[in-house]
Amino acid sequence: MTMLVPEWQWGYDGWIVAITALVAMTCAIPGAFLLVRRQSMLGDAVSHAVLPGIAIGFLVSGTRDGGWMLAGAIVAGLVTAMLTQVLRRVGGVDRGAALGVVFTTLFALGLVLIVQVADSVDLDPSCVLYGQVELAPLDVIDVGGFPVPRAVPWLLGVLVVTVFIVQVIWKELLVASFDPATAAAQGGRPNLMQQILMVLVAAGCVVAFEAVGSILVVSLLVAPAAAARLVTNRLRPMMLVAMLIGVLAAVGGHLSALLVPGGLGLETKDVSTSGATAVFATFLVVVAVLVSPQQGLLVAMFRRLALRFRIAEEDLLGVLYRREVESRGLGSTAGAQLSELGAGGPGLAFHGIMRFAAIRLRWAGSVTPFGLIPHPDQIKLTKAGRARATVLIRRHRLWELYLAGAAAIPLDHLHATAMDLEHLANPELLESLEAEAAKSARDPQGRDIPRSS
């Protein structure tokens, strides 16, 4: 690492990454639940609204020790959730509006209290908002004879407690998150699960405030869970993936803070690790949007492109099959010139796609050049290609037989409709379609329906 990043110091930068990673993992667990509940902004609200609790904890204790801070933040988090529910139920206020009113009011109150106590307590409003993770490794305590940053034991403790609580009430949280009405009908307590979730969010926020700041806490509550949701649909794997993405954001964010300023002609001190980590977490969400196996935009684009090529290949096989039948029967030397096949089917509309389809079919051994002087543009079916084409033509004519009977589509419209449907490869659909073969051995135009080999 030192060779790749000359400024890197394990005793300093390593602790920065470790602290940020612990914050990310602590936030990822409740963040995943908030996401599936469609309450991600509630985490944002709690992370801001706990400021009065932190300030009051400072006023009472006069110290930055985490016990009073944690208690004050938990109370403030519960108050936020309860006030939001009161506004919704009693005042009939929309959830978003109620949330906005409560958290902005408490956030403003917290800032006022922090400013008032800033002279008497070692507390900086900018530290609470933006964090000073670069200074966290310098504030150490002795743990078993080893100097450890003060934030690490608290973060580890909250992470362990969060994992333990979620594991103990997993089933109740799961049902309450996806179907609160069913949870209540089965004797569950969805409101209690909501309060527990708010406590976990508040606890994670307060132990992370001084180290990474409220802005990064909000980012780590939302971004890793959002990226993980694009990777998997199952909640437990989603939490694990969100924790991993949070760790990647911690590593990538700090490396970006060290390396990017030099490339832009800035000094390293001009870019904070908290800000860089928030940006890198957003970058990971963008990556997930693009390359997610299930919902990624690039993956979907490649799937559509692959489908288009497959349709072009099958259309080309169908045209060559019909050319053989129209000339001297199957197995003849009939072939086709690619330039003659522009109207062969929907997939052959563009000559470039048709040529690429022909190349793929040659690689697969389905077509081969023919003639006295073989030319790549002159192709005919091989035995393997003829078998594939037979399956396709059978499917096409079975569709015509079905559409003529069940849908009463006119004969002059059957071919075009069947051309679109013959490329469907759903096994259950094809099994149902094969049942049509028992009705007739010929299609509605009187042509033989090829037998499947």
User: What pLDDT shows up at residue 240?
Assistant: 93
Kindly report the pTM of this predicted structure.
0.75
Answer whether 151's CB lies under 8 Å from 133's CB.
Answer: no
Structural domain including 41 reads 13-226
3 state SS of 379: strand
In a domain, 48, yes or no: yes
In a domain, 383, yes or no: yes
Q: What is the DSSP letter of 294?
A: T
Would you give the distance in Å from CA 448 to the centre of its chain? 49
**What share of the chain has pLDDT > 70, as a percent?**
79
Q: How many CB atoms lie within 10 A of CB 177?
A: 22
Structural tokens at position 3: 């060779």
Band of residue 259 on the pLDDT scale cut at 50, 70, 90:
confident
Number of structural domains found in the chain:
2
Please identify, among 190, 211, 226, the residue that sits at the C-terminal boundary of a domain: 226
9: left (phi over 0), alpha (psi -120 to 50) or beta: beta
Lowest mean pLDDT: which of 284-288, 327-331, 406-410? 327-331
In a domain, 304, yes or no: yes
Structural tokens at position 165: 């609580």
In a domain, 132, yes or no: yes
In a domain, 2, yes or no: no
Residue 405, domain CATH:
1.10.10.10
Question: Tens digits of per-residue pLDDT, 101-134?
Answer: 777 787 788 777 776 665 555 555 555 556 677 7
Average confidence (pLDDT) over 189-197:
80
In a domain, 52, yes or no: yes
